[in-house]
Structure 1
């Protein structure tokens, strides 16, 4: 990540700790990180582009750091991040609509699982059933994370185990099917 992008994303995250996405403006980001509008717009389209880039980096980092471990470890690291960044995620989850945090995480997670499934099983297309299994599972994980962020009443271990237990059996073996997130997901 280049320095300008990194600086903008860090400023965005700091603002998101105290402000909902709907209330964050490009001007707030500019003032916080001390860059010009032209620099911002050469780097990102709008605040939603910053949000999507930010969350894509986060998800990619969880996956790339976890390769070789397990699904349960991935879920544990996600909930650990949520525990340490609770205020940021509370504000992120307050967004709604097409550009919401929940929708982005769901859609991007589905895309990763779909590509991994195709590669692991060496097939060209997914069945309708598999597409729905992946979508329902990702929806459930996003909702579990949302509920956990707003009402932490289970340990990281318990919550990670629940996410793993709800995973369809045909998805469990695809862990470690290393897809190149920069090329295979972009295509």
Structure 2
């Protein structure tokens, strides 16, 4: 099977899960309901995912790749441009963020946030993999977790604000906070 066919099937499964999630609690959604909604067989589901949780791990991986690509496309290299790109990214994925927040599934992102953003930092060249040693990681993880927690909490506040501030407005807020 071609990669595009694999991704298409996975995307059908994700889409079906999110449609169900819009109407039901996560714990009440069954694999049978997902495969029926996606129009695939149960065996096809298990060819790509081991469980419902794997679906959200896949969503998280796609978000990482999309976020890294957003930073690269925007050539974001300062706190302002990175912050703007960050909120542009979430604006483009606002439905996913809000649905996961409503369903209390943000832990699929939160539990892996450091690892996710670390991978993005390597992917975009913010960190050179060969420069990472024990001393670097010891310092970096505390600094980064501190900054990341602030960004994430602002994201959760921002996503439910109405009207939502623009990415540029959020970048200005972040700059003023960190001065």
| d(CA) in 2 for partners of 1:43, 1:146 | 30
Report if aligned partners of 2:83, 2:170 keep a CA contact under 8 Å in 1. Answer: no
- 7 and 152 in structure 1: CA distance in 2 versus 1, 3 angstrom threshold: same
1:106 CA drift (Å): 4.6
Report the number of matched residues: 163
Residue 160 of structure 1: aligned partner: 171
Instruction: Give the Å deviation of 1:165.
Output: 6.1
String of CA shifts for 1:6-30, please: whole Å, max 9, x gaps.
Answer: 2112222333334443343322211
Residue 143 in 1 paired to residue 153 in 2? yes
For 1:29-108, list aligned pairs within 5 A.
29-69=34-74, 70=76, 71-83=82-94, 85=95, 88-93=96-101, 94-95=103-104, 100-108=108-116
In structure 2, relative to structure 1, the CA distance for the partners of 1:17 and 1:102 (3 Å cut) is farther
Normalised by the size of structure 1, how large is the TM-score?
0.69
Structure 2 residue matching 1:100: 3-state secondary structure: helix
Deviation at 1:51, TM superposition (A): 0.7
Distance in 2 separating the partners of 1:45 and 1:109 = 25
Contact 2:98/2:159 (8 A) holds in 1: yes
Larger radius of gyration: 2
Structure 1 gaps, min length 5: 170-187
Shift of 1:44: 0.6
Higher relative helix content: 2
Cα distance between partner residues in 2 of 1:75 and 1:161: 13
The aligned counterpart of 2:131 is 123
Does the aligned pair in 1 maintain the 2:84–2:170 contact within 8 Å? no
Counterpart Cα distance in 1 of 2:9 and 2:105:
28
Residues 1:75 and 1:110: Cα distance change in structure 2 (over 3 Å): same
What's the Cα RMSD here?
Answer: 3.0
Give the CA deviation at 1:78.
Answer: 2.3
Contact map agreement 1:21 1:92 (CA 8 A) in 2? no
Contact 1:106/1:139 (<8 A) preserved: no
